[in-house]
Structure 1
Amino acid sequence: MSTSEPTGFRGTIVALGGGGFSMSETGESAIDDELLQMARRGNTASQLPRVCFVPTASGDSRDYIERFEAAFEGRAQIHVLSLFGQSPWDYQDPSMLLDMDLIYVGGGSTANLLSLWRRHGVDHKMREAAAGGTILAGISAGANCWFEASSTDSFGPLAPLNDGLGFLRGSACPHFHGEPGRAESFQEWIVQGSLPLPGIAIDDHAAVVYEDGRATSVMVESAEAKAFVVSREGMHDLSADVAR
């Protein structure tokens, strides 16, 4: 299956295999800088872009939220969508997502994220926000969620999860060369047919940009980082596809 076959989804998605402020000791990230530039281009008013962090996959981790706030403070109007309602962040109506320029989904448990989003209607609001021009971005679990399926450690050992939102075709594997067993298991599941094609494998410090369901570019913030298309016949650099 082509990496560019559309799903009916309309909007921009940026899937990070790893990196961003989540994996930066200083909070600085070239990918995050580009995300803010993209958000500014979509913001017609002369104001800082509205950026909402969605930490559902980490259980609304206080430390994670504070790292987001430190990384984006002064560069954006920062918001947090809390579904757990733990002080000091009260529960937020997911409709708030419709007012954002950029939604940034954090890592953690893909399975928990999907379950809670569906229960609270976040999945529908994400699709609606994207159709209205909001950029959807996410790292690890926050990248997995947009696809039909993914490689996840939500249940302990790495396992295939065929339960994504399906905004993007195929299956995703974050941290492809960054964590032991990721590359080998993902390739095996693709060959076996346990995960659907196309297989999109994304290294730490790399991200794939999708427009209306089609992969249009690859962003990297280290020289070694890449994104790959994995098929039953092997794999190749995704940059070769999007450059055509």
Structure 2
Amino acid sequence: MPADVPTILATSGGIGAGRRTRFAFTALTDFAVELSGVTGRSPRLCLLATAMGDDKAVLHYLTEAAQARGFTPSHVSLFPMPNVEDITEHLLAHDVVWVFGGSVAGLLAMWRLHGVDVALHTAWQAGVVLTGISAGSICWHTGGTTDSFGPQLQPLGNGLGFVPYANGVHYDSEDQRRPLLHKLVGDNVLPAAYATDDGAGLLYRGTELTEAVAENSSAGAYFVDASDRAVTETALDVRRL
């Protein structure tokens, strides 16, 4: 049973180090599965590691982590060619699409080249829950800050725009993130933005934020807006999962 409205859970979490596996999915990913409404069978999770160049080792470790969590995983890869005949049909057969971090600029370029952007929009509208971490969070927004081009963060303004806000990730763990997002919003380079500390997520129902959630006791979420270049950051109420 798909989600009853188009649903995105954009996060700076949902995965961590495993005890017996390289990765382990965590509470934010469990929440995304819950949002899909699946019952009576193993949740079907489609993994996208485009932002990591579809690295086979990464896909192996993600698949291993999904199986350990009780999910039925598959993946869409684009290198050296798409691994499925019909990407839209493949995504629609899943409950959740989970997108890994890495180069959000590279991810967007490859998705548009192969029509994954259109396939994702179709799946989102059909009730497949979209989620992910870092690049897998920024991508759903109009843009954000990225290290896709090097260690000095730069603005990215060509996100998919499924929701009409910019996005800041790793807000508490990477020093450049907060001041650059403030500057970009204040200079009208990016629109108003939602941001997450590590371990927090943003739940969008349709195109509007419904709530902020977190899988730990301290992670925050924030709304950054500007009026006449005066930037205001507002801490959001966060529900602990």
Q: Aligning the two structures, in what range does the TM-score lie when normalised by the shorter sequence?
A: 0.7 to 0.9
Asked whether 1:38 is paired with 2:35, we answer yes
Question: Which is worse superposed, 112-121 or 66-75?
Answer: 66-75
| Alignment partner, residue 177 of structure 2 | 182
- Structure 2 residue ranges without an equivalent (≥5): none
Contact 2:164 2:207 in 1 (8 A): yes
State the alpha-carbon separation in 1 of the partners of residues 57 and 179 from structure 2. 32
SS of the equivalent of 1:228 reads strand
TM-score with structure 2 length normalisation? 0.86
| Alignment partner, residue 5 of structure 1 | none
User: Percent same amino acid among aligned pairs?
Assistant: 33
| Alignment partner, residue 164 of structure 2 | 169
TM-align CA RMSD = 1.9
| Alignment partner, residue 92 of structure 1 | 84
Check 1:73–1:112 CA distance in 2 against 1; reply closer, same or farther (3 A cut): same
Name the amino acid aligned to 2:95: D
Contact 2:143 2:156 in 1 (8 A): yes
State the alpha-carbon separation in 2 of the partners of residues 28 and 84 from structure 1. 25
| Alignment partner, residue 154 of structure 1 | 148
Asked whether 1:20 is paired with 2:14, we answer yes
Name the amino acid aligned to 1:209: L
Name the amino acid aligned to 1:166: G
Pick aligned residue for 1:112 from 97, 106, 120: 106
Deviation, structure 1 residue 25: 4.1
State the alpha-carbon separation in 2 of the partners of residues 28 and 165 from structure 1. 25
SS of the equivalent of 2:190 reads coil
Name the amino acid aligned to 2:84: Q
Contact 2:199 2:219 in 1 (8 A): yes
SS of the equivalent of 1:222 reads coil
Which digits, 9 at most, give the CA deviation of each residue in 1:8-62, with x for residues without a partner?
A: xx61001012x222x33441511122222223x1x36x32111100000110123
State the alpha-carbon separation in 2 of the partners of residues 192 and 24 from structure 1. 38
Higher helix share: 1
State the alpha-carbon separation in 2 of the partners of residues 163 and 13 from structure 1. 18
Point out which structure has higher relative CO (alpha carbons under 8 A, 6+ apart).
1
- Structure 1 residue ranges without an equivalent (≥5): 1-9
Q: How many residues align?
A: 223
TM-score with structure 1 length normalisation? 0.85
Check 1:67–1:20 CA distance in 2 against 1; reply closer, same or farther (3 A cut): farther
State the alpha-carbon separation in 2 of the partners of residues 118 and 125 from structure 1. 10
Deviation, structure 1 residue 85: 4.2
